[in-house]
Structure 1
């Protein structure tokens, strides 16, 4: 199962079908621990709704060391609520300028996290005061760290045949629809997108194929999709549906996170093959 098994990779332009989708790792932090949480169950108002698939014995730094060992670039560290700063700093210190940081990022602290070792900062909720998108706030974060250091998280929930950006740990729906128009506008100020399909996140019941297909049509900058991946073949599926324009994050299905469906070592080998192919095909 490698990129090109279903289609021929021919170099054309940036973000074209010449590129192979990659595995992008994650470190989700809750109360200072690495966890895998079912999307949408993390609530500020009712902690009893929380559903956790996995709580790690290893620290965030130990996971960062694993990713560094295998050169798994572009991973994201997400602080889900308070009491996660120390764990986040530990992970960034292990592999400086290689991991992205998200959760509570704004124009005031974005530069601090770059200084702490983050390759990029990921911003979501700050862009939507009272659920309404603020271009001024996006410009402010952009001014603080620059376009190349900024990732916009447009994680979303499905509403019929559309997807609306969700904020505050995916609890609140915003006024922004995930569409070609919105992604084109956002891409003027950021260098990358992170998109969790919150309705399937943590369920290990399959990706949102419709969303991945649409992202392949819409995105013009590097994009990582997360949510529902349950088999190593999902990397081929995302590759095919998106034309190689979208990368994939695995979470609860991974054996390193207590899952039984996907072996981390197998995924590392597959990813190395894809990285080598991308390197050869890069113009």
Structure 2
């Protein structure tokens, strides 16, 4: 088992962007800090990932106005990308039918910011455990991490722990975990969180947040015992960054 690079397509207002995660707020849109806005379409990024056989990447819709771009990405690589952002019991199957390999769910599982096992069980039953990813993207509170919903602005009652991950894994096939406090900052990963995920997860897991060097892929591999994959965002050259070269990550995956 070895940690691998997993690609992403983050969508905001219909465009591929890289955003500092902690600044994304409907209540205060003027606080949004954007690192990169691409002139290329979501479909072009999907075709790039397809040509390099980078399976298991995620398309995340950050708010409204992103359905057309997300559909473009999925149509450009049917079965090659997961999709998240506003996924619920009413639209999950539609996105699978549109070409998503799996759907990623967060906020739907937390009515009034409280975790609902009933909703998770219903969604898992509707689409199938193997086609469901639970997003436990989180923010740190004291010495613990708690799931954050609604663009990572609203804290929930669910702590990221061995117990919660064990419980959730009975109903999904994979986890996606953004460390929202370091997302988009290019100042390093949350090493403590990655270490804990390596101890706790029993199903595939992708971590995102803060990666700034190709060496971070080996660091995640070491900290997690190869059980956690890594996503790069703002540091990556295809997203306007200067710290990490996309082709080098592809080569690393192919070793």
Q: State the 1:139 CA deviation.
A: 1.0
Which structure 2 residue ranges, 5 or more long, are not aligned?
none
Structure 1 SS opposite 2:125 = helix
Instruction: Determine which structure has more spread, i.e. the larger CA radius of gyration.
Output: 1
Which residue in the other structure is 1:214 paired with?
Answer: 196
* 2:16 is the counterpart of 1:37: no
Q: How does 1:93-108 map to 2 (within 5 A)?
A: 93-108=75-90
Q: State the 1:161 CA deviation.
A: 1.1
Inter-partner Cα distance in structure 2 for 1:202 and 1:137: 30
Equivalent residue in structure 2 for 1:253, among 207, 225, 235: 235
* TM-score, length of structure 1 as denominator length: 0.90
* 2:163 is the counterpart of 1:181: yes
Structure 1 SS opposite 2:199 = helix
- Name segments (4+ residues, structure 1) moved above 6 Å: none
Structure 2 SS opposite 1:224 = strand
Inter-partner Cα distance in structure 2 for 1:161 and 1:208: 12
Which residue in the other structure is 1:87 paired with?
Answer: 69
Kindly report the root-mean-square deviation, in angstroms, between the aligned alpha carbons of the 2 structures: 0.4
**Alignment length (residue pairs):** 255
Which structure 1 residue ranges, 5 or more long, are not aligned?
1-18, 274-283
Which residue in the other structure is 1:137 paired with?
Answer: 119
Q: State the 1:23 CA deviation.
A: 0.2
Which residue in the other structure is 2:206 paired with?
Answer: 224
Q: State the 1:260 CA deviation.
A: 0.5
Which residue in the other structure is 2:52 paired with?
Answer: 70
Q: State the 1:45 CA deviation.
A: 1.0
Structure 2 SS opposite 1:270 = helix
